[in-house]
Amino acid sequence: MENNKAFFNWSSGKDAAMALHILGQENNLSIDLLLTTLSAKYQRVSMHGLHRSLLETQAESLGIPLEVIELPEDPSMEAYGNAMQERLSGLQSQGFTTSCFGDIFLEDLKTYRENMLHPMGFEVVFPLWEKDTRQLVQDFINLGFKAVVICTNAQVLDKSFCGRMIDPSFLDDLPPNVDPCGENGEFHTFCFDGPIFRWPVPFRKGDLVYKTYPAPGSKEAEYGFWYCDLHLPA
């Protein structure tokens, strides 16, 4: 591959930032676009809960154009797939050849992405794939990246973890059943500074908010999540 035009499936979190940093060390890829899915109703990043205003400011600091795909509230897999297919066709017509992700070890998710993109002729790149997650988050800290936890799965982490910085003390306090990178969905982050940023993204912390969602395949069970609401400074 040489001088491939690539877009990054951007979540706004630490793994995405680390993957973007690694890609920046390679000469055969040009990351020309960040692509993010948002809730159309709330204008927030899917799962992470980050408001669009901070996402856009983050992209400005990274110096990479941002494009969003707005999704309905609680979209079905079919609705998500249709929205992605439509956008991918547009990117293909613009000369994009490669799609990049920050996934580490979720094989089912990797296969799903490849099955969507390969038939359209896209190369799919996973720069963090199968890396040791404890070493990965340690490298993240050592490189000077900074991230704040903005969402925690209440089944495995209590609200005291939400709003904390990703640092050695946070890692030390994680229960043994929680992946150091939160790769199983235990927590999500907002990365606001580091070697790929032109300036630190300013923000202020708001309220901690608890939300529940129906468990997949069940009408009775619910999953609970804590969110730390972030805002641009007044």
Q: What is the pLDDT of residues 78-129, one digit of tens each?
A: 888 889 899 999 999 999 999 999 999 999 999 999 999 999 999 999 999 9
Which amino acid is residue 213, in one-letter code? Y
Alpha carbons 182 and 188: distance in angstroms, whole number: 7
The pTM (predicted TM-score) of the whole model is 0.94
CATH superfamily ID and name for 4-125: HUPs (3.40.50.620)
Q: Residue 218's pLDDT band (boundaries 50, 70, 90)?
A: low
Tell me the average pLDDT of the chain. 93
Longest dimension (CA), the chain: 51
Q: Which residues contact 152 (CB under 8 A, 6 or more apart)?
A: 158, 159, 161, 162, 186, 187, 188, 225, 226
Closest CA to 152 of 138, 126, 129, 173: 173
Q: What is the mean pLDDT of residues 181-209?
A: 97
DSSP label of 44: E
CA atoms of 196 and 22, how far apart (whole Å): 10
3-state helix, strand, coil in the chain (%, to 5): 30, 30, 40
pLDDT score recorded for residue 42: 94
CB within 8 Å of 167: residues ≥ 6 apart: 141
Give the residue extent of every domain in the chain: 4-125, 133-231
The whole-angstrom separation of Cα 163 and Cα 189 is 9
